[in-house]
Amino acid sequence: MRQAAGRPDAMSDLDFTVVLRAWPYLLSGLQFSFALTVTAFAIGMVLGTTFALIQHHEVPVLSQVVRSYIALIRSIPLILVLFWFFFLVPVVLGRFVGGGRSIPIGPTYTAFITFGLFEAAYYSEIIRVGLRSVNKGQFEACQALALSSFDTYRSVIMPQVLKVASPIILSQTIILFQDTSLVYVLSLTDLVGAASKMAQLNGRLVEMYLTVAVIYLAICSAASQCVAVLRKRNELPRVVRQ
């Protein structure tokens, strides 16, 4: 006799066909997770590089402001940062654009802005350390060649920084991709959001969350293999040199 109860409480009662039916919806959620990751990566890298350069050159006032911002963002949890920005972004935008009235721009755009600004603090620290690893002679050589400071950074310094920092940047991006799941607290439909909404409809919570876990595991494991490859590639020339 099989169990009489209808509750799926044993492994054998799992029914993964519900996942197949929910697949298009999950995929659209995953697409949003990717979009959020890519946007936050772009904003974060541009802002982060700017922050790092400001600190590297010890620009008065600005560098203190940037340093405090980074310290603050890095010591509070991302969920709290999300709540902060959800509250602040419409108010701040309203003050500058809407003549004092707050402008609701919707949770999606706020998420993009929040993740970009949040990640900037992390990328900035990575790039700052990268900048310090560049030999001083490189700067002096650029001066001797009469390169403008823009050309110095664009063609000489930044390529070296990015090469040294690429494994750490990629691991940070993997963390970012995992962190995008936290938009769940704002009821957005990323991969986790899609799964949980689907689970509410079809009651198949176990299958949905297990699938989500496997999807994340596959993507992030593949990406961590790339980190290992990048790391190896960075190590080689050093060995040869010595």
Partner 1 sequence: MFDVLFERGLDGRLYGLYLLSGLGWTLVLAFFGWWIAFLIGIVVGVGRTASNKIVSIASRLYVEVFRNIPLLVQMFLWFFVLPELLPSTAGSWIKQMPPPWGAFIPALICLALYTAARIAEQVRAGIEALPRGQSEASAALGLAPSQAYRFVIVPQAMRLIVPSLTSEVMGIYKNTSVAMTIGVLELTAESRQISEMTFQTFAAFGSATLIYLSLALCAYQLMTYIDDKVRIPGTGMTKRRRLLFVAAGGGKARRHE
Q: Note the residues at the interface with partner 1 (CB under 8 A).
A: 5, 7-11, 72, 74-80, 83-84, 87, 122, 125-126, 128-129, 132, 167-168, 171-172, 174, 178-179, 181-182, 184-185, 192, 196, 205-206, 209-210, 212-213, 216-217, 220-221, 224, 231, 234-235, 238
Question: Dihedral sign, CA of 146, 151, 152, 156?
Answer: negative
For partner 1, the closer CB: 43 or 204: 204
Shortest CB 151 distance to partner 1, Å: 27
For partner 1, the closer CB: 62 or 206: 206
- DSSP secondary-structure letter at 154? I
Q: Which of 193, 183, 182, 24 is nearest to 109 (CA)?
A: 183
Shortest CB 87 distance to partner 1, Å: 5
Q: Is 215 exposed, middle or buried (0-12, 13-18, 19+ CB in 10 A)?
A: middle
3-state secondary structure of 58: coil
Q: 120: how many CB neighbours lie within 10 A of its CB?
A: 25
Shortest CB 9 distance to partner 1, Å: 4
For partner 1, the closer CB: 131 or 142: 131
Shortest CB 220 distance to partner 1, Å: 4
For partner 1, the closer CB: 111 or 192: 192
For partner 1, the closer CB: 71 or 141: 71
Residue 231 and residue 228: Cα distance in Å, rounded? 5
For partner 1, the closer CB: 17 or 75: 75
CA atoms within 13 A on the CB side of 209: 7
Residue 194 and residue 180: Cα distance in Å, rounded? 13
For partner 1, the closer CB: 121 or 142: 121
Shortest CB 79 distance to partner 1, Å: 5
Q: Which of 123, 131, 208 is nearest to 169 (CA)?
A: 123
CA dihedral angle for residue 79, residue 81, residue 84, residue 85, rounded to 10 degrees? -110
Q: How many helices (H) and strands (E) does the chain have?
A: 9, 0
Residue 220 and residue 212: Cα distance in Å, rounded? 12
